[in-house]
Amino acid sequence: MAAKIAAGITLAIIGLLLVIFGVGFLSYALAVALSPILGVAGGAAVTGAIFVGPPVLWAAITLMSGPKPKPKPIVAADGLWTVLFSALARETPWIAVIGAVLVGVAEFFLAGRRKK
């Protein structure tokens, strides 16, 4: 069990380092590619804006949007028939219910005629 936990932690660290170094090398490559056009400082500034700008914008929008409205509480049904109908509608396929009702009605009428 401890070996699996250690392996999971090691894999998580390796994955995190791969992402960090990958983003670092990608930003370095972008800065080097932009340096002939904008100079070293300009290439680094544009690269920083590309990599830092979207997460900061997302965080600002998320913080300014405010809390989500709370959902309305579910109100229990008042009558017995409403409770039974809602439970039936939630749990049971309608074709089976209709079939059972039809069989029950037919059995009621056929059994009633035989006794007379």
- Please state, rounded to an integer, the average pLDDT across all residues of the chain: 79
Do 8 and 41 fall into the same domain?
Answer: yes
Question: In the predicted model, is pLDDT for residue 108 greater than 80?
Answer: no
Do 58 and 108 fall into the same domain?
Answer: no
Do 48 and 12 fall into the same domain?
Answer: yes
Can you give the residue range of the structural domain that contains 49?
Answer: 1-68
On whether residue 104 sits in a domain, the answer given is yes
Do 86 and 45 fall into the same domain?
Answer: no
- Rounded-to-integer distance, Cα 106 and Cα 12, Å: 66
pLDDT for 50-85, tens place per residue? 888 888 888 888 888 877 788 877 665 556 656 666
On whether residue 105 sits in a domain, the answer given is yes
Do 52 and 85 fall into the same domain?
Answer: no
Q: What is the pTM of this model?
A: 0.45
Do 24 and 51 fall into the same domain?
Answer: yes
Q: What are phi and psi of 65, to 5 degrees?
A: -70, -20
